[in-house]
Every structure is written in structure tokens, then in C-alpha cells.
Amino acid sequence: MTQQFPSNFLWGTATAAHQVEGGNTASDLWLMEMMKDSLFEEPSGDACDHYHRYAADIAMLKALGFGVYRFSIEWARIEPQEGFFSQAALDHYRRMIAACLAQGIVPMVTFHHFTAPLWFTRDGGWENEKSVDRFARYCERAGKALGDLIAYTCTINEANIPIMVTMIREAVGVAGGGGKRVKALAEAARLCGGEVGRFSPYLSGDGHAATPNLIAAHRKAYGVLKPLVAGPVGITLSLNEFQAEPGGEALRDAADRAINGQFLESLKGDDFIGVQTYTRVRFGKDTILPPPAGADCTQMGYEFYPEALEACIRQAAKVSGCPVIVTENGIGTDDDTRRIEYTRRALAGVLRCIADGLDVRGYIHWSMLDNFEWLEGYRPKFGLVEVDRATQMRTPKPSAVWLGEVARRNAVES
């Protein structure tokens, strides 16, 4: 049975600058990757060399049948030192956006995707109240340079990740971090010339302290960017379907309020909300539960559960009141048939939401390329396109061909 999506539905894939560009030496995470006792399995290094190969990669997306490319511009390249803005970096990203438009690809640009300039993070990162004005200043400069070409704007990627990571640590009883984490943060602080409490990277800091600043930063950036960019402005959130086993309802509800609710409620009136979903999270009485016994798990260790996307779209639409774009959804696996199965089932949930009248405007798959998956390095394979680590050769997988055809037809076989 063929099921059709609405006309003008957005179909695309996504990347993040640090995960694919390579050589992001002015960023905070580059420092942490290069440390002897790093939290990262390996450094990002040259990544996928997308900084130089973007034109061919964008042409490949077009040939596969996709119409949207969501990617990030790298703050650490644009403002490598506080107050100094690199015109060369801005020119590079302008050429990149123009390459999308030349191919008929809609550019969806994220202004912050996890990494930040080292100077920003050494002064407390998002835990410092100055972060709000610093981010707005960067958005204003980049928006003036690029905004007339940008079709869709995402201010901050997964702004709720710091509080999510913090609450997970607390829920499983390691609120203080654990020896390796404490040692790594202390060494990073020493290397960048600061104290431990002043070095707060996005993926390892104190989410309780960062959250009000992240919410305020989005609100201020939204106001700054609206008159500068050509299209809608929104934010993306990491939304998992939260479920409770008997006795786990209180912990689930507390997590939902802190991780999802306070962010979604702050977005009322925005042009869209970017929903980024991969799995469900199950809560017991006092802790987060592992996947059920015998569950099919991905390379990231979480449960193969594509049905979570439908639940998260419904929550995001209900609480925020915003139109929804699925800005990330995918699976880390070496078995590409499982990627297709996961995506087919996730899209079935999208269609059910649309059938119930929810305003869902697009589906952006994560990721275009097998890339640097943060702490896990290059082991997990999220890409629709394989990347040879020795030669950088790109090879589209069957899932890329399948999803590209879905995009061309704007329909999926159930």
C-alpha cells in the first residue's frame, strides 16, 4: 500500500560541522579529543573532509533524490577568538549555502551544534550568563553575512542535551562524574589555562546551570535572526519517548518536566520545532532502566525503537504549539536492512501524526555520512553513505537509494 505525504513535505539528510568537516582546531572538543586521557575513543582529525568536499557531497544528495540539506556552521571557525570574526570562514559557508541553492537543495542551517570556540568554553561556556549575549553577537554577525541565502534556521542543536546528560548521570548514581570524567575535565581546564569550574563543554558540563542560559540564548538569537534570514527560525531538541514501569512514574515525570517540558513551553510562537528522536527511555522507581532483555539494540547501545518518533512529534506539537520538522532520526548500525526497516516504521508514525491533523512539515534523516560520533568515535555507522576512512571515498548504501526514492515520490510503501 502506497501512503502519500503532503505536498511540499521536506525530505533531507543532515550533518554537523565538527563531525564531518575535519580540522576544527579552535573548538573546545578538539582540545578534549587530543588529550592523553580523553573521554573520546579517538580524535575527529580529518573527519570526512567535508570542508573541502562539500560541493560533491551536495551534488550526491541531489542525485539521490533529496531536497533538503541540514548542516551547521562552525562557531569556532567563524569566531576563533572573542570579538574576531573570520571573513574567510563566513565566505566559505556562504559558498556552501550557494552550492546547495545551485543544486536545487534547500539549505537548513544550524548555528550551534555542540562544539563552541575554546575561548567561550574556557570562560564557563553555557554555564556563564555572558553566553547569552556572546551567542547573540555571533548569530548577528553570521546572520548578516549569510542570512539572505538561508531557507531554514536552527539556532541551537539539542539545547536540552546538557540537562539530559546531567539528569541521566544523577539518575544512575554517578552525579559526580566518575574518575575518568573528573580527570579529563581537570586536565582540559589546565590545558586551556582555566580552573575546572570554568571549563564547561556542552557534552560534559552542568546542565542545571546551563539550561536557563540556553533557553535565553535561543530566545535572543531568534529575535536577532528573524529579520536577517530568508526563512523560518526554530530550535531542535533531543526528544526520547519517556515510559515508566510500575513505580517509575514520578522519576519519569520529573525528567520529562526538566528535559522536555521547560524547553517546549518556551518555544510558543516559534516558526517550527525540530524534533530529534532515536529511541525510548524507560524509568524504574529510582533509576533509568536498561533495554528489555532480548531487545534489539543499536551500535550506540540503546533500543531499536522507531515508534518513539511518533510519540515525540505528538508531545512537541501539543506542548509547544509549533509546526514540527523531524530534523534528526536514524540508527547506528552495520546492517543497512535494519536502517531501512527503522526508517520505514518511523515514517509510518509520521504519517499517523499527519492523518490526525498535526502540522508535520518534513523528515530529515541522520546522517548523510558515516561520521565522527562524538565520544564513540567512528565506530557507529549512522550514514546513508559509507565513507572509506583511508581514502574518503563515498559509497551510497541501499538505504540512501531507498530513502531518496521515497523523497522523489513523496510517498512510502507500507
Torsion sign, CA atoms 291, 295, 300, 305 = negative
Return the pLDDT at 408: 98
Per residue in 93-140, pLDDT (tens digit) is 999 999 999 999 999 999 999 999 999 999 999 999 999 999 999 999
List, for the chain, all residue ranges whose pLDDT scores fall below the cut of 70.
172-179, 192-197
Give me the pLDDT at residue 185, please.
73
Output the pLDDT for position 173: 58
> Residues 76, 116: contact at Cβ < 8 Å?
yes
Residues of 169-195 as b/e, b for ≥16 C-beta within 10 angstroms? bebeeeeeeeeeeeebbebbbeebebe
Q: Which helix (H) or strand (E) holds 214?
A: helix 207-225
Q: What share of the chain is helix, strand, coil (3-state, %, to 5)?
A: 45, 20, 35
Give the CA-trace dihedral at 212, 215, 216, 218, to 10 degrees: 160
Q: Concatenate the DSSP letters of all residues of 237-280 into one string.
A: EE-PEEEE-TT-HHHHHHHIIIIIIHHHHTTTT-SEEEEE---E
Q: According to the model, what pLDDT value does residue 195 have? A: 60
What local confidence, expressed as pLDDT, does residue 358 receive?
Answer: 98
- Strand-pair category, 152-156 with 106-112: parallel
| Helices of type H across 147-178 | 161-171
- The pLDDT of residue 175 is 39
Q: Cβ(39)–Cβ(204) under 8 Å?
A: yes
Which backbone phi and psi does 217 adopt, to 5 degrees? -65, -40
pTM score of the predicted model: 0.96
